[in-house]
Structure 1
Amino acid sequence: MDSLQSMRLFTRVVELGSFSAAAREEDMSQPTMSKIIAALERSLGVRLLERTTTSLTPTEEGKRFYERSKRVIEEYVDAVADAQGRTQRLAGTLIVNAPVGLGELHLNGLFLEFLAQYPEIEIELILNDRVVDLVEEGVDVAIRLGSVLPPNVVARQIASSPRVLVASPDYIERNPKVRRPEDLVKHEYLRFAGVSFGAQMEFSRAAEKVVVEVGGRYRVNSSLALRQCFLAGAGLGTAGAWLVQDLIDTGALVRLLPKWQMASQPVHLVYPSRRYQPLRTRTLLQFLAARLPLLPGLYAPAA
């Protein structure tokens, strides 16, 4: 049996969790399926599966081989479809990774809209704020804020979000006026926890640049919690406009020092570096590239 077919059968054994289930799907006997996988292991010189009387579990090498095999098979199917001039079917599962705050505030609606357009696609949205290894964790597409990106990926900037200084009307009324960046030293500055930057803020206006050392007694590693702190009048702080633009628009928060700029926060679409992608992945990338820059506080990057 050729290597590609052996890889395909191995992925089905892993996905179905047994030789018997994969054998029934392929209309072959369980011993034949077991022999094929054993022959694949011998040819690789690696044990891919741990076998017991009740279960099959991929080894660490088996997990990595599964992820790569799955992509090879997808690429092959796509290449055949392309060579034969056929349109690949828009179906299957997409695993997407995104930051928690952006996901809860904005992405749920976008993905529900995408699913309504493509009823045979499934999406598994994983929200966390850490930088994940896309291949290791089987992620098809990630949306990342900022310039810290996973290794060995394709990263395409599709939007940016200006950083803005905000406070609640109540906080502004109770505290000294903020007329220049230097005035921030008199204020309780709320910021994101667990990052090495943030205690110093750089503002620019035309050719003028000001660096301010800010201080505050509270830091939190959740953008949504930071948003709540601003609303509660616990202090002032800076955030990507994607996090607070809707509150600025309703007057719940006020933008301070609007004539001063800070470095914008880039937004990237990130995906594993491979030549062929399933049509569902390409379609989602096109959808997100078109729709993300239209969200509140996000803008298409300058040409």
Structure 2
Amino acid sequence: MSKSLDRLTLLATFARIAERGSISAAARDLGLSQASASRQLADLERRLGVQLIQRTTHSLSLTEAGRDCLAEARILTEGWDALVERYADEDSAIQGRLKVVAPVALGQLHLAEAALQFQKAHPGVAIGWILQDGAIRFAETGCDLWVKIGSVPDDSLVVRPLGRVERLIVAAPGLLNGRHVETPADLDDIPCAALEPFEAGSIPLIRKKRAGKKRKQVTVAGQIALTTNNIFAGRKAARLGIGYAVMPRWLVQRDLDSGVLVDVLPDWRAPSLMINAAFLPARRQTRRLKLFLGHMAETIAAISGVEGV
């Protein structure tokens, strides 16, 4: 093994230890003994002249130098993977790890099946599937692809829009109790189950474009009965009649079809949200990432209530 490849091996071992938070777990992933993984970490720290990981009896944590090194290690190892793939036979099977972070509800209900089908078609790819709604530190998380609903707060990433989500105000029929709701102002004294961080207590609504009526935007100050950052809890609150809620059509279409929920203001919609894919710049993309990204784009475009872009 050449010295340059040996250095990449040390960096890859360190990155796996950082991701797993355990030398023994990383060693199992890499097919090494725990002692061998520990020696590789110590060798890397010796070569760099800094401590990368603080070790205690029960846990590991990255030092400041370790956090900086982790970001660089991922760039270098992923760059090597991309270089190997560039000169590989196009017909050869794709291999390697692929870590994906996706939103909880969308990932659980629609994207997980697609990810599993991709892995089944490409068994040489080991997928790490993480569901998380909040913002992440891309470099520290070590993911290859971040599927996020809404804007991506990281200027270092390439962002590709995959679909536009239609959002509407829904409620249980019992909440309205026969009340006629025609305009956003009619919501003023009706309880609201608000989803953070998108609306909280202030809900912008846009009137759909129709003949004879101009496009118009207003803001409704919701009478908050519940605030949650979990979209499943928001839907449950709406179904139980606790309050109306702004929900994506892809999540509530079955409830609308069955009459469990109703579209409260058919002529008005909350601003749509973009489903974005975020990843590192093209020079570090691997073939497995490109193929998986295309697979996700096709999956999202086929979801009811999502407009392709």
| TM-score bracket relative to the smaller structure | 0.7 to 0.9
Gap change, CA 1:56 and 1:282, over 3 Å in 2: same
1:128 aligns with 2:149: no
1:132-171 map, 5 Å: 132-171=136-175
Give how far 1:200 is off: 3.6
1:182 aligns with 2:185: yes
Q: Contact 1:98 / 1:127 at 8 angstroms: preserved in 2? A: yes
Matched AA of 1:209: K
Alignment match, 1:7: 8
Q: Contact 2:169 / 2:246 at 8 angstroms: preserved in 1? A: yes
1:202 paired residue among 205, 217, 222: 205
Distance 2:294 2:46 in 1: 42
1:278 aligns with 2:282: no
Task: Return 277-286 or 87-96, whichever deviates more.
Answer: 87-96
Distance 1:249 1:126 in 2: 31
For residue 261 of structure 1, give the secondary structure of its aligned residue in structure 2.
Answer: strand
Gap change, CA 1:217 and 1:117, over 3 Å in 2: same
Q: Contact 1:156 / 1:269 at 8 angstroms: preserved in 2? A: yes
Gap change, CA 1:66 and 1:88, over 3 Å in 2: farther
Q: Contact 1:146 / 1:266 at 8 angstroms: preserved in 2? A: yes
Alignment match, 1:91: 95
Q: Contact 1:8 / 1:69 at 8 angstroms: preserved in 2? A: no
Residue correspondences, number: 292
Distance 1:121 1:268 in 2: 23
Task: Return 214-223 or 72-81, whichever deviates more.
Answer: 72-81
2:266 paired residue among 247, 250, 258: 258
Alignment match, 1:245: 253
Give how far 1:213 is off: 2.6
Matched AA of 1:101: A
Residue by residue over 1:188-222, the C-alpha shift from the partner in whole angstroms, topping out at 9 and shown as x without a partner, is 12211456754242322432424233222221221
Matched AA of 2:239: L
Alignment match, 2:225: 217
Q: Contact 2:74 / 2:142 at 8 angstroms: preserved in 1? A: no
Gap change, CA 1:275 and 1:87, over 3 Å in 2: farther
Give how far 1:73 is off: 2.6
Give how far 1:100 is off: 1.5
Q: Contact 2:145 / 2:278 at 8 angstroms: preserved in 1? A: yes
Consecutive unaligned residues in structure 1, runs of 5 or more: none
Consecutive unaligned residues in structure 2, runs of 5 or more: 18-22
Alignment match, 1:297: 305
For residue 186 of structure 1, give the secondary structure of its aligned residue in structure 2.
Answer: coil
Q: Contact 2:169 / 2:269 at 8 angstroms: preserved in 1? A: no
Give the root-mean-square deviation of aligned CA atoms.
3.5
Q: Contact 2:152 / 2:276 at 8 angstroms: preserved in 1? A: no
Give how far 1:285 is off: 0.6
Task: Return 280-289 or 144-153, whichever deviates more.
Answer: 144-153
Q: Contact 1:95 / 1:123 at 8 angstroms: preserved in 2? A: yes
1:119 aligns with 2:123: yes
Task: Return 57-66 or 121-130, whichever deviates more.
Answer: 57-66
Gap change, CA 1:92 and 1:77, over 3 Å in 2: closer
Distance 2:40 2:299 in 1: 49
Instruction: Please report the TM-score for the alignment, with normalisation by the length of structure 1.
Output: 0.81
Q: Contact 2:191 / 2:243 at 8 angstroms: preserved in 1? A: yes
Residue by residue over 1:127-185, the C-alpha shift from the partner in whole angstroms, topping out at 9 and shown as x without a partner, is 1221101111101111111124334211110101111111123333x152111221111
Query: Identity of paired residues, percent?
Result: 28
Gap change, CA 1:56 and 1:221, over 3 Å in 2: closer
Q: Contact 2:12 / 2:77 at 8 angstroms: preserved in 1? A: no
